[in-house]
Structure 1
Amino acid sequence: MPNAIRRYVRFIDRTNEIVGLIMMYMIFLMIGILLYSSIMKTVAIPPLWTLEMAQFVMVTYYMVGGGWALKNDAHVRMDLIYANWQPRTKALIDTVTVLFLIFYLCLLLYGGFSSTSYALKYGETSYSAWSPYMAPVKIIMCFGIALTLLQAVAQLFKDIAIARGEEIS
């Protein structure tokens, strides 16, 4: 594989590793928000923002962590047959399936950009009583989809290298 591709794969792997590790701690923020909400329900009137804010934090947690999950092969896979294949056969099949993933992520990112631009242009808010602006969470979603897309391209390069009998690390 060309040196530029090797550098790209290493850079994207490193980026998603760092971002993924940071995102792991978002779960504690969500737990804190929900704990605060629970305490306030027993002591006083619960604030309107806690449930929706916990949902926004959860969106950040799983959308931005998608690239990390792809990099570390932490996603769900039906491997009844796949587990018994040789690494090169797995890489050939993964090369085809990651192309479908890249296509899907491109469509998702296109829709995300469209939705984000709408939210920014018209000041879209949630329909809840709290009514927060939706643009920040949509921007975060686009960022997470983009990181996952970049990781999928890196995975494609890794699979092609393995299918050719090479290794990229």
Structure 2
Amino acid sequence: MPLLRAFVRAVDALNEHFGRLVALGILAIIALVVMEVVLRYVFAAPTIWGTEVITFLFAGYIMLGGGYTLLHRDHVNVDILYGRLPPRGKATLDVLTAGFTLLYCGVLLFYTGRVALEALATGRTTGTDWNPPLFPVMVSLPIGAALLLLQALSRLVADLHRALTGREIAR
């Protein structure tokens, strides 16, 4: 049990710290959007790179923040039955549905990993006028998927403990 508790603590801490760091990225995205809007509509001089950078940053932001979002149970949830269950019932239902989450995370990690490796190996670019390499954003995808998978495993351990004992795992 101490090993599982240490695993849950480590993964939760990793996603907590990484999520807070990634959250600061929204400030850069906001600044770039404001800059691009001002350049486009006030000066009639949009950049050729602004939209792509914003898109890349937002994709990384979404993927890298997935583990943090799962840690805080902020993903979309159908609450018709779940919201009425006691904590132990919620944990039991989470354990029963964890297989779907883990399967999704595993498939996501596999395919984003393949795409990232391909982008690194081939030097793939966007093909636009600016034509930046795709690997920076592509590498963020499997990292985010791995963080999400680790958090799903941590959540499964914590939910299994609560479902079996009725108590939250000591963190």
Does TM, scored on the shorter chain, surpass 0.5?
A: yes
3-state SS in 2 of match to 1:142: helix
Q: Which amino acid aligns with 2:168?
A: E
Q: In 1, Cα distance between the equivalents of 2:94 and 2:66?
A: 17
Identity of aligned residues (%): 32
Q: 2:80 aligned with 1:94, yes or no?
A: no
Structure 1 residues 99-108 or 126-135, which shifts more? 126-135
Asked if structure 2 preserves the Cα contact closer than 8 Å seen for 1:16 and 1:147, the reply is yes
Displacement of 1:25 after TM fit? 1.4
TM-score scaled by length of structure 1 = 0.95
Show the counterpart of 1:116: 116
1:62 alignment counterpart: 62
In 2: Cα distance, 1:37 partner to 1:86 partner: 48
Q: In structure 2, what is the equivalent of residue 26 of structure 1?
A: 25
Q: What amino acid maps onto 1:12 in structure 2?
A: V
Superposition map of 1:1-169 within 5 A = 2-41=1-40, 42-43=42-43, 45-165=45-165, 166-168=167-169, 169=171
State the distance in 1 between where 2:113 and 2:21 align. Answer: 24
Q: Distance in 2 between matches of 1:114 and 1:61?
A: 20
SS at match of 1:35: helix
Deviations 1:1-60 (A, max 9, x none): x11110010011111111111111111100111112122222252111101100111112
Structure 2: distance between partners of 1:20 and 1:9 = 16
Partners of 2:116 and 2:141 within 8 A in 1: no
Unpaired stretches in structure 2, ≥5 consecutive residues: none
User: Could you tell me whether the CA contact under 8 Å between 1:99 and 1:156 is conserved in 2?
Assistant: no
- Superposed CA RMSD: 1.2
Number of aligned positions between the proteins: 168
SS across alignment from 2:80: coil
- Residue by residue over 1:42-94, the C-alpha shift from the partner in whole angstroms, topping out at 9 and shown as x without a partner, is 22521111011001111121111101110001111111111111222211110
Distance 1:40 1:110 in 2: 40
Instruction: Mark the runs of 5 or more structure 1 residues left unpaired by the alignment.
Output: none
Q: Aligned equivalents of 1:76 and 1:40: distance in 2?
A: 36
Deviations 1:105-137 (A, max 9, x none): 111111011111111111111132211111110
